[in-house]
Chain A
């Protein structure tokens, strides 16, 4: 980073529209991200460059996998370790959750990272689940590689993936014994949804067509396609029909997935979910239609679809209207406070402690117990108990009161103004600009003054006069303003 944005007493903040794009399409607008938006010249230009994520070097985030060497175990090796009681599936899942959180904090490809999170929550598989855990990291790499391509492509990569086959029992769905689980959720959750009006016969045919994908669960977890297990014969599902006469059903499955991805009901469902995540709990039908239309016209292109969303007046008008989920809250706080995980050697490492911080606020990453993913509505995450836990956690993070290790925290001196003296009120404003990208409200200034039992006009003569305690109280209070809970 060339210049420290914190140098002045009143650091420059992004124009609010740019800040808005940053808030919605990253896990936290820190100094470095604000600088990259500025250097792109506009938030539009920044978004376009972020869409082209492969061109952004991302060394720190790319190195995270090396902290978790077991995640790249082959499925058979992972299973062998579990059988030998060397590790448990939970250990693999926990590694995966830590890996995922660390990437969210560190990545320079923030739009990509946000979309990986979005699709991982839609095409959801929990961490450490016994029938899928050896394949969970591989599943993540598929989502990563396709998160900004097309939904058609994403569906093809995820639905028949061995992790999904294990999780939703498709690995035991055979022509001689149908298991409906994946066939049903494919229709209900991942594509058309219940308003499309599919019936029980559609569910059964959906399951029949998905036979043949085999995973030797609790054996060596080897995945293969078994023509002997594939059900042959004509299927009809909603408006899709296929002779399905070949012993290899995979081409028919791809045709079916393409049909579902391109279905208008899928377009509405995906568009609505995107709008709830990126605009508001209650997107208008005109916004949803606009987004769905682009989805259909572009043949399910994710970047084109997102572009329509961000260009819509309703998106532009929705600044600071979404409440951060606990996971978003922790990652945002870590990013704006400048806390960067540097490894994951033991339970004291920051990369591991962030999991328990999320849990403490009511959202343990990747532990939603159902296949529909965590709710993305703000109303879900505004129970008084959650708010209390967040307030507490912001102070804990600001002071590193959980004593996390393997974390790089910038020196206090580098995050304070360089011009002294300044008043307590100015100091609060300085931190509000740094952490929230906006000036401090009068009640926020008053809040800090009250907590420290000092007047706002109290003159701080030098950086050395800012005590550790005062520093935590200021930063915790900034994160605890209503605006600090919103993105």
Chain B
């Protein structure tokens, strides 16, 4: 799912909601649900109930300065005469930062110390291109020309021969850069999509599988491998589909027509089913706020907060093994533009939630005075790879993080225990 990086365009989100609604008629949102056989699945497939990392990409360049507001900075208020958020509206403000008021739904988690906001995080060098910055962020290995994403390196480091269900992107069939690499990964709109033709007719389905296998094996190359991968995947998916409950658990309500919500709902079902998934990538677009920042950030933060709150509830007892981190390709410029929006900037805020998190605000705060800005932007004092290393070390102690993020200098901030 690549929800909208709408470049600040009107009520595009509303359009997307209508799209999803209409799509439901044609099975896009029609997700088969069933819930039985967990125990069988865990024994047969050796599935783990180990820790899981969920990476939510806030695509478009989320404005960290609105999400985790540095309210003590005069420069923040003077640079954003129409879009700054007054201190008295912020949630959980300390002497330096406060959360955007639309984070309300995460209040209970915040009070339980399960949410950490980390500021002035980003790429080692400014890169204000959506496309390049996202690629760099997800590849995370600047010295190498090999196109292998960091999540792929992560799951490769956790098992000698990683399983196809170790790393998944939910919501879109296009594999994001973070998942690309030698370890097998899955990108799918929904788990229920992973089926062979005639899946309701076992004899026919088997015949079709066998003959497609023969043809794709003989063809080889990109399409040959994809075909063989498809058959293997469908077989595995069929074997565990009974235990994957696309939920949600009773009483959990995801926001209506939210693509992020739909993807997290599938993700929760997959995690509860103990199929062995270790990392899940989910896209949440719509953060390119060149116009009307105030209104847009309200909407996007509210959706994010509601979805995350529902997700952790939906995980039930499994919430104890799931950590979420939000990433965005860059922050926005400090000074607002002529459209009550903000153009592309540099330093940004990252959020970590759930298992292993020591809640609160964290930052090696560089300040916002003219002397500390980088070309009009918040400076970066913490490499985003250092933030991810801190999470991985806490949640996957067996992992050699130096192989996931080669060559970085790791400086923990203490937001994980």
Contact = CB atoms under 8 A, between A and B. Distances in A.
Interface of A: 88-90, 93-94, 128-132, 166-169, 172-174, 176-181, 184, 188-189, 194, 200, 203, 217-218, 323, 347, 353, 356, 359-362, 364, 367-372, 375, 378-389, 391-392, 395, 402, 441, 443-444, 446-447, 450-451, 453, 476-477, 480-483, 485-486
15 contacts: A88-B15, A129-B6, A167-B9, A189-B131, A323-B226, A347-B25, A359-B28, A370-B285, A383-B174, A384-B233, A385-B233, A392-B196, A477-B208, A480-B197, A486-B223
B63 to A, nearest CB: 14
Interchain residue pairs A-B with the least CB separation, the first 10: A177-B338, A130-B10, A362-B173, A447-B211, A356-B26, A482-B219, A382-B226, A172-B339, A385-B188, A384-B230
Interface of B: 2-12, 14-16, 18-19, 22-23, 25-28, 59-60, 128-132, 172-175, 186-189, 193-198, 204, 207-208, 210-212, 214-216, 218-219, 222-227, 229-230, 232-234, 285-286, 290-291, 337-339, 341, 343-344, 375
B15 A378 contact: no
A179 B337 contact: yes
A173 B164 CA distance: 48
A383 B8 contact: no
Which of B14, B189, B210, B338 gathers the greatest number of chain A CB atoms within 10 Å? B338
Nearest to B168: A385
Contacts of A392: 195-197
B231 to A, nearest CB: 8
A370 B130 contact: yes
B338 A176 contact: yes
Which of B196, B197, B229 gathers the greatest number of chain A CB atoms within 10 Å? B197
Given A130-B14, A188-B129, A323-B223, A179 B193 contact: no
Contacts of A441: 215, 218
Contact of B23 (A359, A368, A450): A359
Contacts of B193: 385, 388-389
Contact of B15 (A130, A184, A364): A130
Contacts of B227: 387, 482, 485
A451 B207 contact: yes
Which of B214, B218, B290, B344 gathers the greatest number of chain A CB atoms within 10 Å? B290
A94 B8 CA distance: 21
Contacts of B128: 184, 200, 203
A378 B222 contact: yes
B328 to A, nearest CB: 14
Given A177-B338, A177-B339, A387-B230, A379 B222 contact: yes
B182 to A, nearest CB: 14
A395 B197 contact: yes
A357 to B, nearest CB: 8
Given A387-B229, A388-B233, A370 B27 contact: no
Given A90-B15, A372-B131, A383 B226 contact: yes
Contact of B215 (A218, A372, A444, A486): A444
B219 A179 contact: no
Contact of A480 (B5, B60, B212, B291): B212
Which of A178, A370, A389 gathers the greatest number of chain B CB atoms within 10 Å? A370
Given A369-B5, A370-B5, A386 B337 contact: no
B3 to A, nearest CB: 6
A35 to B, nearest CB: 29
A94 B234 CA distance: 32
Contacts of B132: 194
Contacts of B212: 391, 447, 480
Contact of A180 (B5, B189, B337): B337
Contacts of A386: 173, 226
A480 B207 CA distance: 14
